[in-house]
Amino acid sequence: MMDTKPTRNLALELVRVTEAASLAAGRYVGKGDKIAADHAAVEAIRLVMNTIQMNGTIVIGEGEKDEAPMLYHGEKLGTGDEPNLDIAVDPIDGTSVLANGTANAIATVALAPRGSMFNPGPFMYMDKIAVGPEAKDVIDIEAPVAENLRRIARAKGEQVEDLKVVILERDRHKGLIDEVRKAGARIRLIRDGDVISALMTAVPASGVDVLMGIGGTPEGVLAACALRALGGNIVGKLFPRSEKEAALGREQGYDLQKILTMNDLVSSDDAFFAATGVTSGDLLRGVDYFAHGARTDSLVVRGLTGTERRIISTHHFDKLNEISSIHY
């Protein structure tokens, strides 16, 4: 037994960041303007993240500096003091669902020691499989879909028919959907939001067993930070959009054949993850406004200890608006 003192849990500070993003973006729910919603979340994240005592560098953000004025790859956030950290941020995962006011839009951020997060480079997409703790040792991104489902079912003591697979509803997934149906598993098609769906595979009451298909690489890194802490697993492979992107990636030293394990996506247990609901979904409630305030619902996880916390906060705008530069 080690006799070290408990250390700071940055997830408890991160949750203020995702709460602020949700409160700001929540005003845009159903308004059809995903850019304005994202922008509001970005500004709130930057403002609150800069109050955290850390020397953070964005590895997963809104893009390169020239295309993203804020939260760009390489941007420094925090007070500049130690610890030195990598930051992954998806101000809103599910901007389209937010704009339509449908389920499962979240604000999410993760932190991990400097150098431990996978840099997606030019690769916007990766093929992925995510599962919860019981099936963590059996998934193989190179095995046929039916084989993966059989192994997952066996690991969970279930039949393939009992499994529910989450897949992004995209034309590129027609073949995958056919294969899952043929294997006999059930499917939930989602419009957006594979971070929360990956996370749900590790939450027994969510009813979701597996996430499969081609989604965002940045989302894959965020999901890996959460799943590593929750004891689940995610594996994948980069999926270039074109031969040009593949060539560019190869030039930059990426191996397109390489299987990306969870450890490749985030190589440290000492990661922190926070997510706050913007629109209500299966796991998190969306922002609920009332006279002079709002309530938010968040999940925060610390990799080192595996502690998950559910944080329901009541925010008082009459007080906040006196001290904050964000008008809630």
Contact footprint for ligand VTB (CB under 6 A):
93-94, 168, 170, 192-194, 215-216, 219
- What is the distance of C-alpha 279 from the center of its chain? 15
* Residue 191: CB minimum distance to ligand VTB, A: 8
Tokens of residue 84, six digits = 């030195």
If you search the block for the tokens 């893009």, which residue do you land on? 63
Q: Which helix (H) or strand (E) holds 176?
A: helix 174-183
94/277 with CB nearer ligand VTB: 94
Asked if residue 81 lies in contact with residue 53, where contact means CB atoms within 8 angstroms, the answer is yes
Nearest CB to ligand VTB, comparing residues 193 and 286: 193
At its nearest, how many Å lie between ligand VTB and the CB of residue 281? 12
Name the minimum Å distance from CB 216 to ligand VTB: 3
Measured from the CB of residue 268, what is the shortest distance to ligand VTB in angstroms? Answer: 23
The structure tokens listed for 271 are 């990661």
Confirm if 24 and 84 have CB atoms less than 8 A apart: no
Give whichever of 160 and 214 is closer to ligand VTB, judged by the CB atom.
214
Give the span between the Cα atoms of 75 and 61, in whole angstroms.
9
How many CB atoms lie under 10 A from the CB of residue 181? 12
CB of 192 to ligand VTB, least distance (A): 4
8 A C-beta contact, residue 209 and residue 251? no
| Least Å from the CB of residue 250 to ligand VTB | 22
Q: For the CB of residue 60, give the shortest distance to ligand VTB in the complex, in Å.
A: 12
Which is closer to ligand VTB, CB of 97 or CB of 152?
Answer: 97
Q: Which is nearer to ligand VTB, 75 or 192 (CB)?
A: 192
- Residue type present at position 134: E
Helix (H) or strand (E) holding 152, with range, is helix 145-155
Task: Tell me, rounded to whole angstroms, the distance of Cα 187 from its chain centroid.
Answer: 21
Nearer to ligand VTB (CB atom), residue 78 or residue 220: 220
How many other CB atoms sit within 10 Å of the CB of residue 187?
18
Kindly state the DSSP code that residue 266 receives in the 8-state scheme.
B
CA 225 to chain CA centroid, nearest Å: 8
Question: What is the rounded distance in angstroms from the CA atom of residue 169 to the CA atom of residue 165?
Answer: 12
* Residue 10 CB, nearest approach to ligand VTB (Å): 24
By beta-carbon proximity to ligand VTB, the closer residue of 56 and 236 is 236
In this structure, are residues 228 and 269 in contact, taking their beta carbons and an 8 Å threshold?
yes
Q: Which two tokens stand for residue 233?
A: 């697993």
Could you tell me which of 58, 9, 40, 6 has the C-alpha nearest to residue 311?
9
CB of 97 vs ligand VTB, minimal distance in Å: 8
Q: Between 78 and 91, name the residue whose CB sits nearer to ligand VTB.
A: 91
* Shorter beta-carbon distance to ligand VTB: residue 132 or 215: 215
